[in-house]
Structure 1
Amino acid sequence: MTATADAEAAANELTPLADYLGSVLRRLRALPPLDLDLTQAYGNVLAEDVVAPHSYPAFDQAAVDGYAARWEDISGGSRGPGYGPAPSGVPGGRVIRLNVVGDLGAVSWRPVRLTPGSCFSVAAGAPLPIAADVVVPVEWTDQGMAVVEIFRTPKRGYGVRRAGEELPAGSLLARAGAYVSPALVAVFAATGIGHVVVRPSPRVVIVATGDELVDVGRASQPGQVVDTNSHALTAAAAEAGALAYRVGICDDDPEALRGLLEDQTLRADLIITTGGTGTGPGDMVRRILSRREGGRAGPVAFTEVALYPGTALGFGTVGAEEVPVVCLPGEPGAALIGFEVLARPAIQLLAGAEPVFRPSVRAHLLETVSSPGGLREFRPAHVAERRGGGYTVQPLAGGPFTLSGLAEANGLLVLGERVTTAAAGSTVDVLLLDRRR
């Protein structure tokens, strides 16, 4: 059997990524909803549709500072108190004069009515007088106090905001599954909502395992590896909207690992471990969590997935509360890709977000790339919008294992299991990463 045939046979024994993700995500459920004060709801996901209990605006109001008037008084339909010659440079050659009968501010509450030939001085946000259907901006006038001269005539309805014209009572403000953004908080507050029902942010605990690991602040030496993963994955979980807790390093000690995981189930909705998912003699996480006890399978199943980089992934539950646990490879690039592929969708599902996967686009490939057959590859790339529409994607040097490439990437180029070569000029799928640059 040739080396190529051996590789194809090995790939055929792997679980397709889509099948594996489906089997994992079907076992997860969104966290139970809770009622939160509006000031605490930002960043959470709505657990139910939100409907406006009141209209916005709540009453007819001025949208600009100026003079609230009847449009027929300033359009020539009614002469009002009079017309006169305009100051030099004013278009039209004439001005309109109206009696100013009062001032209205945002705190005004008593209803007032306009009579022909009169107007009210109004501030933006002030309630409109009855019969007013236009607000003349203050800069279009001489800013008179008893009588105002109007140099330009706005269209009917200018400067006026009618009650409910933006959001009528009963209108749908947001659907379940939407993130509560600052603008959505403003919409809720404006329509009289003080509490919303949301899914809580998942509490995610990250544990790095391995006798070789040492904490940051030093350089790696033979026999020692700086713990990159627990720091990076804690940041990734926080970016995904989780309340992320870094536990740190756990040695390859069976009892210590079991005890640590059991303790963390008390404060976690999801546990992520990194390292020890392979089949080598030092892969303690897999040996401990997949071990059969009392004739039953271990709490975590480890699967060889058609994924590059990092084929070995684990998923299951631990503790009496059956807290979900995701086990990622120890190689930093594979751990970060594994997080994007498996752990991040799990966090989104627990949070009740829809959709759970990152958005993707089809992009024009700028460089020919090769990919291992039988594996779905996720490669760091830079995505850009093309002039005239569409996207281009440039694979970054070094492939999926380079941390510098992952740090620079704003997308992940996805090459399917059947792809061994993608030619420049072809169209490929790209996951868009949320990079706040």
Structure 2
Amino acid sequence: MTATADAEAAANELKPLAEYLGSVLRRLRPLPPLDLDLTQAHGNTLATDVLAPHPYPAFDQAAIDGYAARWEDLGGAGRVGSHPSFGRVEGGPRPVRLNVVGDLGASSWRPVRLSPGTCFSVAAGAPLPIGADVVVPVHWTDQGMAAVEILHAPKRGSGVRRAGEEVGVGQVLAPKGAYVTPAMVATFAASGIGHVVVRPSPRVVVVATGDELVDVGRPSQPGQVVDANSHALTAAAVEAGALAYRIGICDDDPEGLRGLLEDQTLRADLIITTGGTGTGPGDMLRRVLSRRDPGRGVVEFTDVALCPGSTLGFGTVGGEEVPVICLPGEPGAALIGFEVLAHPVIQLLAGAEPVFRPSVKAHLLETISSPGGLREFRPAFVTERRGGGHTVQPLAGGPYTLSGLAEANGLLVLGERVTTAAAGSTVDVLLLDRRR
């Protein structure tokens, strides 16, 4: 049997990535909903559709500073644009003179009515007088106080905001599963909403395992590996919308490892570990968590058709059966594993829709090869083309995936049957967040 045939045979024994993801996500449910004060809702996802209980604006109001008037009373004034300088032109249309019968500010509340030939001086946000259907900008007038000369007539309805013009009663302000943004908070508040029902942000605990690990701030030495993973995965969990806690390094002590993870179930909705997923003599995590102990949960480790990294673990820990995800120890593979598995799990727990990152089709800028039988996720830089469409530049992959990820804004996805992708071909690219 040739080396290629051996590789294909080995790949055929791996579980397809889509099948594996489906089996994991079907076991999970979003976290129970919470009724939160509006000031605490940002960053969570909505558990229900949010409907407007009141119109916005709540009443007819002035949209600008100016003079609220009846449009019929302005018929003799020059039309908009007839005099670009907005000044008097000899022989041109004469201004319209109206009596100013009062001033209205945003805090005014008594209803007032216009009579023919009169107007009110109004501030933006002030209630509109009954009968008014236009607000003339201040700079289109002589800014009179007892009486005002209007040099040009706006269109009917100009400068006016009608009740419910932006949001009507019963209108869906945001759908279930939407991420609560600052602008959304403002819309809710303006519509009279003080509380919303949300899925809470998942609490994620990150643990790095291995006797060889040392903390950051020093270079690796023979027999030592700097723990980059727990820092990176904690940051990735925060970016995914979680409340993330880095526990740090746990040695390969079976009882200490099991005890640490079970202690974390009291404050975690999801536990992410890194390292120890293989079958080597030092891979204690796999031996400990795959042991079936009643009431303590069990993790199943699966060889997945994924590159980089292939073995992923998923199951539960402790009597509370808190989900746990086990990622490889190699930093690049750990981050790819997070994007493939942990990111959608966090989104699902948070009730977000959709759970996967957005993707685009892009034209490949250079020819690349890919291992057959594996779905490869390669760091890439995506650029939107002028006139539409995208191009993608592959970045360092394979053993250099970590350095490639540091400058990537996307992940180029090459399917199991792809061994070579030619320059100019169309490929799928998963878009990563670019928060600068």
State the alpha-carbon separation in 2 of the partners of residues 207 and 245 from structure 1.
9
Are residues 262 and 131 of structure 1, via their aligned partners in 2, closer, same or farther at CA, if it must alter by over 3 Å? same
Secondary structure of the residue aligned to 1:247 is strand
| 2:340 equivalent in structure 1 | 341
| 2:373 equivalent in structure 1 | 374
State the alpha-carbon separation in 2 of the partners of residues 137 and 90 from structure 1.
22
| 2:173 equivalent in structure 1 | 173
* Matched residue type, 1:248: G
Cα deviation for residue 398 of structure 1 reads 4.3
Cα deviation for residue 240 of structure 1 reads 0.4
* Matched residue type, 2:193: I
* Matched residue type, 1:299: V
State the alpha-carbon separation in 2 of the partners of residues 69 and 396 from structure 1.
63
Secondary structure of the residue aligned to 1:112 is coil
| 2:245 equivalent in structure 1 | 245
Native 8 Å contact 2:297 2:321 kept in 1:
no
Secondary structure of the residue aligned to 1:435 is coil
Measured on the aligned residues, the alpha-carbon RMSD in Å equals 1.6
State the alpha-carbon separation in 2 of the partners of residues 435 and 178 from structure 1.
19
| 2:317 equivalent in structure 1 | 318
State the alpha-carbon separation in 1 of the partners of residues 274 and 132 from structure 2.
67
Are residues 432 and 274 of structure 1, via their aligned partners in 2, closer, same or farther at CA, if it must alter by over 3 Å? same
| 1:404 equivalent in structure 2 | 403
| 1:31 equivalent in structure 2 | 31
Kindly provide the CA deviation profile for residues 151-205 of structure 1, in whole angstroms up to 9, marking residues without a partner as x.
1211000000000011011111111100110000001000100000000110000
| 1:80 equivalent in structure 2 | none
| 2:75 equivalent in structure 1 | 75
Kindly provide the CA deviation profile for residues 28-63 of structure 1, in whole angstroms up to 9, marking residues without a partner as x.
110000100000000000001111000000000000
- Unpaired runs of 5+ residues, structure 2, are 78-85
| 1:359 equivalent in structure 2 | 358
| 2:388 equivalent in structure 1 | 389
Native 8 Å contact 1:45 1:179 kept in 2:
yes
| 2:307 equivalent in structure 1 | 308
Cα deviation for residue 405 of structure 1 reads 1.3
State the alpha-carbon separation in 2 of the partners of residues 279 and 20 from structure 1.
20
Cα deviation for residue 95 of structure 1 reads 1.1
Native 8 Å contact 1:251 1:257 kept in 2:
yes
Secondary structure of the residue aligned to 2:96 is strand
Aligned length: 428
- TM-score, reference length from structure 1: 0.96
* Matched residue type, 1:301: E
Cα deviation for residue 75 of structure 1 reads 1.9
Native 8 Å contact 1:277 1:285 kept in 2:
yes
State the alpha-carbon separation in 2 of the partners of residues 155 and 290 from structure 1.
74
State the alpha-carbon separation in 1 of the partners of residues 32 and 263 from structure 2.
22
Cα deviation for residue 279 of structure 1 reads 1.2
| 1:285 equivalent in structure 2 | 285
State the alpha-carbon separation in 2 of the partners of residues 288 and 90 from structure 1.
94
Cα deviation for residue 92 of structure 1 reads 3.8
In the alignment, is residue 431 of structure 1 matched against residue 425 of structure 2?
no
| 2:413 equivalent in structure 1 | 414
State the alpha-carbon separation in 2 of the partners of residues 225 and 338 from structure 1.
20
Are residues 322 and 293 of structure 1, via their aligned partners in 2, closer, same or farther at CA, if it must alter by over 3 Å? closer
Cα deviation for residue 87 of structure 1 reads 5.2
Secondary structure of the residue aligned to 1:402 is helix
Secondary structure of the residue aligned to 2:206 is strand
State the alpha-carbon separation in 1 of the partners of residues 70 and 249 from structure 2.
74
Cα deviation for residue 402 of structure 1 reads 2.9
Secondary structure of the residue aligned to 1:405 is helix
State the alpha-carbon separation in 1 of the partners of residues 177 and 87 from structure 2.
59
Kindly provide the CA deviation profile for residues 336-379 of structure 1, in whole angstroms up to 9, marking residues without a partner as x.
00000000100000000000000000001111110000000000
Identical aligned residues as a percent:
84
Cα deviation for residue 297 of structure 1 reads 11
* Matched residue type, 1:313: L
| 2:186 equivalent in structure 1 | 186
Cα deviation for residue 281 of structure 1 reads 1.1
| 1:227 equivalent in structure 2 | 227
Secondary structure of the residue aligned to 1:120 is strand
Kindly provide the CA deviation profile for residues 201-228 of structure 1, in whole angstroms up to 9, marking residues without a partner as x.
1000000000000000111111100000
Are residues 193 and 298 of structure 1, via their aligned partners in 2, closer, same or farther at CA, if it must alter by over 3 Å? closer
* Matched residue type, 1:215: D
Cα deviation for residue 315 of structure 1 reads 0.2
Cα deviation for residue 399 of structure 1 reads 4.4
| 2:80 equivalent in structure 1 | none
Native 8 Å contact 1:142 1:148 kept in 2:
yes
State the alpha-carbon separation in 1 of the partners of residues 73 and 63 from structure 2.
20
Are residues 292 and 87 of structure 1, via their aligned partners in 2, closer, same or farther at CA, if it must alter by over 3 Å? closer
| 2:349 equivalent in structure 1 | 350
Native 8 Å contact 1:133 1:160 kept in 2:
yes
State the alpha-carbon separation in 2 of the partners of residues 3 and 365 from structure 1.
29
Native 8 Å contact 2:308 2:398 kept in 1:
no
Are residues 91 and 234 of structure 1, via their aligned partners in 2, closer, same or farther at CA, if it must alter by over 3 Å? farther
State the alpha-carbon separation in 1 of the partners of residues 265 and 100 from structure 2.
70
Native 8 Å contact 2:327 2:337 kept in 1:
yes
Are residues 314 and 118 of structure 1, via their aligned partners in 2, closer, same or farther at CA, if it must alter by over 3 Å? same
* Matched residue type, 1:60: D
| 1:83 equivalent in structure 2 | none
